[in-house]
Structure 1
């Protein structure tokens, strides 16, 4: 069993996501948790593949309910210039999902924050993050996309949604614009403070060229990526986009510090083998 990273062929979220979670032994680890935060990529109110399909989150919630008694929270802090996180939740179906499954919704843009500090973070030696992240098991459920500034936006970049705009909307209309300056180092600093406990990437379709206005991948990767090592998961995601993770600074610099990118490269290579079990 490779807990770090697994690439699952995509048939449907209902069929493939449980298989991906079982492949990394998620049942055992999730059963022990008290509070679980699902942090989807809802950067704007645009439909998938810009954002995570609500159907993907629904399958994850249903699977979690079978494995754990933990409190499950849907949490995001959108970067949308025009709409609040609550509006984005509503427009993309997450409000209905929360009502259907009795889930708490949290707008991370407005949640109570705590000030943290680290000596090894050159961009953010002090960082404000929502307090609830400290005592929760965080699942970063990202979408496979190229990014206009960060090369890719995957599970580690998805954590930027946790940053409160009252501290990080600086010199731009986007709510997290402070992260755009030296973006790779900023992503790395953020994940030094709080990396995902479980990383998931919807690579069923994917986006090329741009994270908001790009074109769908053609052909689509038809994969889901899951793992307890976000660096490995992001390395595999980068390779699905035809990129070398070593050329993406925030992944390359995280390798060996926050995780093991080679574990993701190995998982990708195994999934691409003609007779790989991951294809069945």
Structure 2
């Protein structure tokens, strides 16, 4: 039996997304989060999990800037008494998420804000089943995915296999490597690459973010691990409670038609 999802669906709120011009994280993040209705969603929430996209230790715009997450923490605290963690499970096989946190400056941010950093690759797990999921009729996901309000903070990037990686695909960070590295272990979430779009769909049937803030201040135009940045920089933040709507808007910001990206249809 599937556990209830916390957050937006139970509250019956309007599911839409907001696009704001980017100035600085300190100015623009609060504006985007307020205008997109996050304070209402956080009413009654006791635990918040902020999930950046830290696929490896490459700096922004491949990964989420710690300053962006810090601005999110400050805003959540301004309108909620919920406890907060920053959690991710990196995909790089040659390092641990704790190494990525350290290299990208998350330890300094966490220390200053008194926020716990959690490596999702080693978090206690729950097994779930759904026969309607074609690729993952059963799946293992961290227990805390179902005890926390998930606030996803990805960056805007094109993806070589998925077309785009934003809110929905970033949920792969929750997948435990011991089950999803594949037979070769070249990439910690390699099983998802066998059928990328369907695996993203299935994963998000089990758990999708309660809220998303996409850092589209720059954007990667061609490839999710590097390559050309968007020129000129996109200069936007995209926020909302409907991850699918957010990702469709982000596809447009990259000049892509979401109707041609299978997991967005």
TM over 0.5: yes
The question of whether the paired residues in 2 share the 8 Å contact of 1:2 and 1:24 is answered with no
- Gap regions ≥5 residues in structure 2: 1-12
The aligned counterpart of 1:218 is 231
Correspondence list, 1:178-197, <5 A:
178-197=191-210
The question of whether the paired residues in 2 share the 8 Å contact of 1:79 and 1:161 is answered with yes
| 2:25 is equivalent to residue 22 of structure 1 | no
If the length of structure 1 is used for normalisation, what is the TM-score? Answer: 0.88
Aligned residues: 252
The aligned counterpart of 1:45 is 57
The question of whether the paired residues in 1 share the 8 Å contact of 2:48 and 2:148 is answered with yes
Correspondence list, 1:88-237, <5 A:
88-170=100-182, 171-237=184-250
3-state SS of paired residue (1:144): strand
The question of whether the paired residues in 2 share the 8 Å contact of 1:3 and 1:24 is answered with no
The question of whether the paired residues in 1 share the 8 Å contact of 2:166 and 2:214 is answered with yes
The aligned counterpart of 1:83 is 95
The question of whether the paired residues in 2 share the 8 Å contact of 1:44 and 1:51 is answered with yes
What per-residue deviation string (whole Å, max 9, x for no partner) do you get for residues 171-190 of structure 1?
34110000001100000000
Task: Determine the C-alpha separation between the residues in 1 that align with 2:200 and 2:91.
Answer: 15
Aligned residues: CA RMSD = 1.1
Task: Determine the C-alpha separation between the residues in 2 that align with 1:2 and 1:53.
Answer: 29
Structure 1 consecutive aligned stretches of length 4 or more whose deviation exceeds 2 Å: none
The question of whether the paired residues in 2 share the 8 Å contact of 1:146 and 1:241 is answered with yes
- Gap regions ≥5 residues in structure 1: 253-280
Task: Determine the C-alpha separation between the residues in 2 that align with 1:89 and 1:185.
Answer: 29
The aligned counterpart of 1:273 is none
